Amino acid sequence: MIAIVNYGMGNLRSVQKALEQVGVSAGIVSVPAEVARAEKVILPGVGAFGDAMANLRERGLVEPLIEAARSDRPFLGICLGLQLLFDVSYEEGEFEGLGIIPGQVLRFSFSGRPEAAGLKVPHMGWNQVAWTKPCPLLGNLASPQYFYFVHSFYVSPVDSSVSCGLCDYGGLFTAMIWRDNLYATQFHPEKSQKVGLRILENFARL
């Protein structure tokens, strides 16, 4: 079973519907035992990092998620679900994340940068992602590809080799990561039409 983790801050049904479009069933789960039993785990999310971590702790989901991400089970984070994998976020303060990927979550800042004049925060809409290395979720997708983004913060990994996709928004930032069984995207594959559906289908086939 593919488990879509419900911690009160996710676009759960849109992810589930996108998987249904490619012929894959997935269940929305909210208790630790269901995450522990899942063959594959998807951690979606929209909203504030601090609130998300508080909800995960309150529901007892932190340890099951860490165990899943460090196992050999395929694990996919989407948007906020990517950011939560990191050590710390500076969104409205300083908040500890799951600590699975070393690095931090930072706000876009364009002050004093004329090359970024006119760019707004949040980064919202379609933008190109270029692959930096082969990844099982990408299959034969040519590089670059357009995906849909909605975010004001981006991840900055300590080890740049975990990045497999980069996007340019006033400078390059990590839009997709891959390490062993762990995959995560800053963009929303469930809102990115055929190319996004291909990524979800490839994940389901792992």
Residue 32, classified by CB atoms within 10 Å of its CB into exposed (0-12), middle (13-18) or buried (19+), is: middle
Tell me, yes or no, if 188 is annotated catalytic.
Answer: yes
CA angle 37–39–20, rounded 5-degree value = 115
- The rounded distance, in Å, linking the Cα atoms of 188 and 33 is 27
Query: Which residue in the block uniquely carries the two structure tokens 């601090």?
Result: 50
Tell me, yes or no, if 164 is annotated catalytic.
Answer: no
Active-site position among 79, 151, 164, 201: 79
For residue 91, what are the contacts with CB-CB under 8 A and spacing of at least 6?
48, 49, 50, 105, 107, 152, 153
Tell me, yes or no, if 94 is annotated catalytic.
Answer: no
Nearest CA-CA partner of 174 in 137, 139, 144, 129: 129
Active-site position among 91, 151, 164, 188: 188
Both tokens assigned to 14? 């849109």
Active-site position among 91, 123, 151, 190: 190
Q: Which residues are catalytic?
A: 79, 188, 190
